[in-house]
Structures are given as structure tokens and as C-alpha cells.
Amino acid sequence: MSILGTYYGAIVLNEKRLVETNMKNRIKLEYYATEKPICVKEEYEIAYGISIIKKEYCKNRIKREKNSVEKISTNKRKIKDIIKMLKEYEVTPIALEDVLEDLLKQDKREVA
């Protein structure tokens, strides 16, 4: 595992998507699962989170933007599924918290 977490892949926004968002530079989004030990009922578990890094390739430099949300779930499978969905919908760091909030609310409604 790297300092960023476990790498779960990247996407490069296609030209059509860049035109739709008025972007001129190539953009790459990288997705990571993070781990943090937590104590639950006097036992340690791993809480998983998610990080997204956006790299915008400008003429002579790379602009980076990162956002992370820690301790989303102790279920690794759930985190993998969420990351898969984030990649599919090309979620950026700035949208990560709002999208996760909506997904987790939806999960609670489905369980109830």
C-alpha cells in the first residue's frame, strides 16, 4: 500500500467530456482506498476511506487536486463497489464528499 492508499485505477477524461466542461487540458483522475485502524468495542478493525487525485496536464506543469474521506466503512467490498461507481461516473475530488453523502443516504434507505 502506498502513502495514498491502495490504488484502484484511473481514468482520463475523453475529449467530448472536456468540451462539455470547457476544459482544454488533459485530465486524469486516480482513485485510492485508504485504511485506518479504529477501536470498536475494545478490538481493532480497519476503517476504509477513499481518496481521489485529479491531475490536469497544462503546457509546462501539472496541476493537482486531492480530496479524501476517511472511515467510510469497515467493509472492504463496499469501498471497492463505491470506487467502481466513482470511476464510472468520473467523480472529481471536489464532488467526492457530496457524492458519498448521497450514496450513503441511499444505502441507509435501502436497509430500512
40 pLDDT higher than 90 = no
Residue 11 lies in a domain: yes
The Cβ of residue 67 has, within 10 Å, a number of other Cβ atoms equal to 16
pLDDT in tens, 44-82: 999 999 999 999 988 899 999 999 999 999 999 999 999
Residue 106 lies in a domain: yes
Average pLDDT for residues 93-104, to the nearest whole number?
94
In the chain, the number of structural domains is: 1
Report the percent of the chain where pLDDT is more than 90: 64
As a whole number of angstroms, the distance between CA 40 and CA 7 comes to 26
Residue 83 lies in a domain: yes
Which residues form the domain of 48? 6-111
Residue 86 lies in a domain: yes
Residue 62 lies in a domain: yes
Residue 1 lies in a domain: no
Residue 44 lies in a domain: yes
As a whole number of angstroms, the distance between CA 8 and CA 84 comes to 8
